[in-house]
Homo-oligomer: A and B are copies of this chain.
Amino acid sequence: MPALHHDAPAPAPFHHGVRVYWEDTDAGGVVFYANYLKFFERARTEWLRALGVGQQKLRDETGAIFVVTDTQLRYQQPARLDDLLDVTVLLAELRSASMRLKQQAWCGGRLLCEGDIRIGCVDAGTFRPRRIPNEVTRLLA
C-alpha cells in the first residue's frame, strides 16, 4: 500500500530473545505449540519492564493485574531444540481497560508463529475489569 504522506512512521516492535530448551519441545521433535503463548508473554513482560512497568510492583501498589482475554495464533514453521527465537511485541491498540498486541516469533529469517493477544486490566482480588492505572497508560502511549 503506497502512501504519499506519512507523518508518523510505523512504530518499531520490541524484540526479546528466547532460547529453546528441552522443556519446550514435544515428541514431534519441535516446540510444543502452547509454549508460544509463554514465549509471547515473556516478551510482553520484558517490553513492559523496558517501559518501566513491573507487574509485581504494579500489583503491590495498585491492586491491578493484566490478564489475557483473547488469543489468536497462527503456526507457520516449527522450531527445534537449541534454536534462538526473536520474539516481537507491537502495541496495536490501547484502550482504557485493555490493549491489543501483535506478536511474532522468528528464527533465522523464518516466521514461526504470529499472534494477536488481547490483555485486560482487572482487580487482582475480584478479577473485575478496571481502568489501566494512569501511570501505566502514560508509559505505554
* A interface with B by C-beta (< 8 Å): 19, 21-23, 25-30, 32-35, 37-38, 41-42, 45-46, 49, 54-57, 65, 67-75, 78, 80-82, 124, 127
Contact = CB atoms under 8 A, between A and B. Distances in A.
Contacts of A124: 28
Task: Tell me if A's interface is mostly helix, strand, loop or mixed.
Answer: mixed
A139 B17 CA distance: 27
A67 B25 contact: no
A5 B70 CA distance: 36
Contact of A74 (B33, B54, B69, B81): B69
B34 A23 contact: yes
Nearest to A125: B29
Contacts of A55: 22, 81-82
Nearest to A38: B23
A68 B35 CA distance: 12
Q: Which of A70, A73, A81 has the most CB of B within 10 A?
A: A81
